[in-house]
Amino acid sequence: MRQQNLYGWYYLENSMIKTRFAPSPTGYLHVGGLRTALYSYLFAKKNKGKFLLRIEDTDRERYVADGVANILKTLYWAGIAPDEGVVMGENGEVDENGENGPYTQSERLPIYREHVQKLLEAGHAYYCFCTTERLTQLREEQTAKKLPTGYDGHCLSENSVEAKKRADGGEKCVVRLKMPKSGETVFTDMIRGEVRFKNGLVDDQVLIKSDGYPTYHFAVVVDDHLMGITHIIRGDEWISSVPKHLQMYKYFDWQAPQMAHLPLLLNPDKSKLSKRQGDVAVEDYIQKGYLPEALVNFVAFLGWNPGTEQEMYSLKELIKDFDLSKVGKAGAVFNIDKLNWFNKQYIKKLSNKELVEVSRPWFDKTGLLKGKDSVDLLEKAVELERERITVLAELPEAIKFIFELPNYTADLLVWKKSTKEEVKNILPELVEFFVKLKSGDWKKEKLATKIGEWITKKGFAVGSVLWPMRAAISGQENSPGPFEIAEVLGKEETCLRLQLAIKKLSN
C-alpha cells in the first residue's frame, strides 16, 4: 500500500523499505561512495528495512579484478554489512544472499534482453544503426552551431520490422529509449524538493550497447524494480539521469522508487572533492590508521546534521537519529582537520590494550611486536603517546624509542641554561640516587616527588636535571615527560640509558 505526503509517494509498513548501494568495481571505494552507502544503510535500518548491495559492472572498460572484494572489505570494515545482494561469506569470500539475484549486473544479461524486448515491442525503444563516425560528426556540427549535443533521432524513422531483421541478422547496432520530445518530467526529490526537466532536452539514451551489455541507465531501472528497491539514495551527479529513468518506469508501468540526491562533496576551497587535494579512497584512510568509528562519524556529518550539539555518534546512535530530511542541499566540505579531531576522540575511548590491538597491523610492519613481553611493554608504551598521535600509523614510530634507544649526540643532553660540565657532574649522581630508590617508588608520581625533593636538597636547577634525564632516556629532542618514560622503561633500563649518556659525555 502507498500514500502520498509532502515528498510524493511513500510506502506504508506492509511494504518493507529497501535501499541499495550500487557501486561499479573500479578498484577502490571513494569516500563519497562510503557516504552514499552509509546514508542508504542508515535510512534502511532506521525504518527497519533492508540494505542491498548490487555490483554495477556493465562498463567492461572500467572493470578491475579485485574491485568487488575491495568494496566489500571496506564496507564491512566500516560496519556497513548488506542484508541482501553481494555479501561477504564466512571466510571473507565474495558471496550472494537473497532471492532477487544474481546481484552482479554482468550476470543478468538475459534479464535485460528480455526487458528491452518489451520496450521495443511496445515502440518505446528503437534500434539505432548510426556509426560512431556519424555520431561524432553530428556532435561536432551541434557544437559548432552552439546547439545542445544529443542524438538527432535519425533511426527513429526506420521501419521497426526491418530494423529488427537487421539487428537479428547481426548488424552492429544499439537500442535507444524513445524519449518524448515535449512536456516536462517532474518529481519530488527527498532532499531537493520538486525538480523539473524539459523532456525535449533529454537525449534518447542508449539502453543496450553494441556489445550487448546494458548501459547503466537501463540496468539501474530494471534492477531497482526487480530487486524491490523503495528508496534510491545516491550522489547529486545522478540527478540529471532521473527523467530518463522515470520515463522507463512509466513505459514499464512500474512504480518508481523515492529518490534522494545527496549534496556534492567539496574541497575546503569549495571545488569538487578531488584526488589532487587529498585522498579520496577509503582504503587510503584505513591504511593511515583512521578508526572505522571515526571515519563513519565524520562521513555521516558530510551533509547531515542532527541539529543538536552532539557530534560523537556511534553507528547505533546514527541509526536512531539519522534523518534524510535533515540532509542539506548545499555541498558538504571535506575537512580533514575535523576527521583528525574525530580520530583523536575515538583513540581516547580505547583502552591501552585495545589500542595495541587495533594498531597491530602497523606494529607488525615495524617488527615491534616480538614476544609476549614486548606486548606488555607495548601496552605501557602506548600510554605515553596515545594523546599525541592523530592516526594509528604514527604510533610505532612514536613509541619506538622505548624499544630501541635512538642514536643521539652528547649535545642533546645539555639543557639550554646548563653546561656540558654540569651535566657530567649531575648524571652520575642521579644514577646513584636511582640505584638507592626502592622499586616501589618506581611510579611516575612517586618519582616526580622523590626527584623533586632530591633536586631541592642538592640545590640544582630543575631543568639541569630533568632535561638531561629525559634526553638520555628518550634519545629525542621532543618526547613525553621523564617520569612517564622512566616508569615504562623500569629502573634497570633507565639506569642503563643514563650510563650510556655519561659515556657519551666523556667522549
- Which stretches of the chain bind ligand GLU, using CB under 6 A? 22-24, 56, 216, 220, 234, 238
Q: At what angle do helices 336-349 and 292-300 cross, to 10 degrees?
A: 140
CA distance 251 to 270: 40
Shortest Å, Cβ 311 to ligand GLU? 28
Q: Which is nearer to ligand GLU, 221 or 430 (CB)?
A: 221
Q: Which is nearer to ligand GLU, 216 or 454 (CB)?
A: 216
The one catalytic residue among 198, 250, 275, 348? 275
CA distance 364 to 397: 12
Q: Which residues pair with 3 in a beta bridge?
A: 10
144-149 long-range contacts (CB < 8 A, ≥24 apart) are 148/201
Per the CB < 8 A criterion, the answer to whether 102 and 96 are in contact is yes
Q: Which is nearer to ligand GLU, 10 or 238 (CB)?
A: 238
The amino acid present at 4, given as its one-letter code, is: Q
Shortest Å, Cβ 105 to ligand GLU? 9
Q: Which is nearer to ligand GLU, 56 or 484 (CB)?
A: 56
Q: Which is nearer to ligand GLU, 71 or 381 (CB)?
A: 71
Strand, coil or helix: 206: strand
Shortest Å, Cβ 379 to ligand GLU? 43
Q: Which of 107, 125, 52 is nearest to 85 (CA)?
A: 52
Residue 504 catalytic? no
Per the CB < 8 A criterion, the answer to whether 186 and 169 are in contact is no
Q: Which is nearer to ligand GLU, 262 or 405 (CB)?
A: 262
CA distance 461 to 344: 36
Shortest Å, Cβ 240 to ligand GLU? 12
CA distance 308 to 292: 23
CA distance 356 to 353: 5
CA distance 442 to 370: 25
Residue 171's Cα: distance from chain center in Å?
A: 44
Q: Which of 482, 504, 344 is nearest to 401 (CA)?
A: 482
- For the chain, what is the radius of gyration of the CA atoms? 32
Shortest Å, Cβ 58 to ligand GLU? 9
**What amino acid positions are annotated as catalytic residues?**
275
